[in-house]
Amino acid sequence: MNKTLKTIIYIAAVIIIVAVTMSLKAFVFGNYTVKGDSMNDTLLDGDVVWAAKLASPDYGDIILVMDDDTNLVTRAVGFAGDRLWMERDNSEPGSKWYLCRKKSGSDEIERLAEERYGDSVMPRFDLEIETCHLITNNVGEGAFDEQTAFVVPENCVFALGDNRNISSDSRSRGAFPMEDVIGVVKAKGM
């Protein structure tokens, strides 16, 4: 094979590889840099994550959401029809709070996680009269039991950061439309 033909084949191969790589990044996978501390200790500020853009999020998945021209990294905890609320466990001294979920079409109530709130959040939240809410229902009142729970709207996801004390998530921004979900985080690094 002559030198010119080898050069043309080489250039064509490089162009094809670049085009395939760019297409995969644009439509299938993308890498994003985590900004902020809302997912500490799972993901840290500056971590790079890979998101599958064609994947549908499931419960517990870390997702990327486009909100007000910002990419948010957060965890999916509720989908259309799910009921979410805060519940206090008074069985032990110190009153622990739990995030509770009842999935759409299910009778099972799940306690997802014990909520620990630092000093930065506690002043906003009066433990005795419950006037300031960590989760509000669909009419803007406190969601403190199944009857007053927040119901996730159709085609939406309710997502929370793992570092609840500082996370900007569905508690303050509302449920995110599924069309704003960029992808599901599948890997970390590079």
The pLDDT tens digits for 107-162 are 999 988 766 554 333 333 444 433 334 677 777 777 888 898 999 999 999 999 98
Looking at residue 93, its pLDDT comes to: 65
Looking at residue 3, its pLDDT comes to: 85
Pairing state of beta strands 181-188 and 62-67?
antiparallel
Give residue 87's pLDDT band: very low, low, confident or very high (50, 70, 90).
confident
Tell me how far apart the alpha carbons of residues 32 and 71 are, in angstroms, rounded to a whole number: 8
Query: Could you tell me which residue, 81 or 165, shows the higher pLDDT?
Result: 81
Cα angle for residues 58, 103, 169 (degrees, 5° grid)? 60
Tell me how far apart the alpha carbons of residues 117 and 27 are, in angstroms, rounded to a whole number: 38
Structure tokens, 39: 């997912």
Which of 61, 23, 58 has the alpha carbon at shortest distance from 185?
61
Helix or strand holding residue 109 (H, E): strand 109-115
pTM over 0.85: no
Q: How far is CA 101 from the centre of its chain?
A: 16
Looking at residue 94, its pLDDT comes to: 60
Looking at residue 124, its pLDDT comes to: 37
Looking at residue 182, its pLDDT comes to: 93
Which of 131, 121, 102, 99 has the alpha carbon at shortest distance from 168?
121
